[in-house]
Structure 1
Amino acid sequence: MRDYTTKLTELQRSHQAAVAKANEYTNPDLSAEGIDKRRAELIAKAGEDHKAKLDHLAREFKDEATETKRVAAAAIPTPAGDTSQAWGRAKMLLEAGQTLQQIVAKADPALLHAVTEWGPTYLEAEAYKGRSDGFAPVAVDAAPLQRSIRQRWTQVLDGFAPGRIERGAEAEAVEAEFQVTAQHFAARLDGIHVGADDLTAAIEARLAGQRAGAGLAKEGDAA
């Protein structure tokens, strides 16, 4: 999947080169006004060409990322039955002071299914603790938990499943990074001022990819 971010970077560089070449255009048979007009036309043409290429690349990437994530999800087995008994084990560990991260890190398949089903509700319940207004909604991001669970599945499964799950996780992270960069580039091609230069956008894209690949924080990690 990383080759798509490489292709996107190459497309940005191609556009920069086309714009630079357009700005260098000159013609002794044209007036200064005529040269400026021709340069503007060349820049607009470069934008149109690269917008079409960006749209095509984005569609290709979306199709492949969607299929990769589907295959990854299918590699995880479905629970054999009710998960409440296994969640009871998890609750005892939580009450004894274990964290969800610690539980997931050594979970067997039954416990992984239980945490998948009940873990988000547990996180929501924990978020309500200590609040003066218990009716106010809380925002709980269960994605890091689900990513940690998927990572554990790669350790307890065999065959082709671990590789498929890992490729699905990579697709999610690359997708987050790709989208930030592609949106910034598309805005520039459309002549929209986005308030961020290319370097800032690149940093934001990298951070988005890191967030999309992060699991539960380990005890002692910085918040």
Structure 2
Amino acid sequence: MRFLQSIVLFLFGLSAFAQEKTIDFDAPDSLYREDQFYIGLTYNKLQNTPKDLSQNKFSSGISVGFLRDMPFNKSRTWAIAAGLGYSLNIFNDNLLINQPSVSPSSENIYSFDADLIYSKNKMTLHYIDLPIELRWRTSTPESHRFWRVYTGFKFSYLFYDQYKFVGSGETIKVTGNEDYNKLQYGVYIATGWNTWNFHAYYGLNPMFKNAKVDGQSIDMKTFNLGLMFYIL
């Protein structure tokens, strides 16, 4: 009986306390974080290319992921963030890749042919991304509409690649190309207002590690320009 009486008294006390300390769920959260999902759309421009290389059609890219926000000042206008994402980059150009049919382990052949007529010649690259960034923004607990400048460093691991050529009565596909650098890294910046943000990424290491065309190393890097959308 005493145990039951104790429980009843405890519940009455808790009820009285709750009435005095009503929780305001609409009150601003002074310890908010800008944890955000992101979606990026880019135009991919190749840099440091062989002299005969030219891009044709539209080379596009898309990236999605999540970033964990970690503010480090009292007003929470400065933060660092780390995340995980996925990106797809497509490059349409005139660099031809052919794998000899003698053996799957044979070296790929890279070439240019100005007289060759084709409808498709593209590289499709799939990456797992690990972005790390420094953030500045004008956000407040009352509003999530603000100016931002986010800049950082991104590691990308190539987990699937495909080259496809369609033309001159034949179709060529090359996947699992060992000439690609599996690990890509570069710097980026995203700046803008609210949802709409300009985004730029510059790769610091070459896409290929040991490929050559006409005796020249293919040391091209990627430069991506586009828009980044952040979603709380």
Q: Which has the higher strand share?
A: 2
Question: Fold-level match, TM-score > 0.5?
Answer: no
Q: Which has the higher helix share?
A: 1
Q: Which has the larger radius of gyration?
A: 2
Q: Which has the higher contact order (CA 8 A, sep 6+)?
A: 1
TM-score bracket, shorter-length normalisation: under 0.3
Instruction: Give TM-score scaled by structure 1 length.
Output: 0.19
Instruction: Give TM-score scaled by structure 2 length.
Output: 0.18
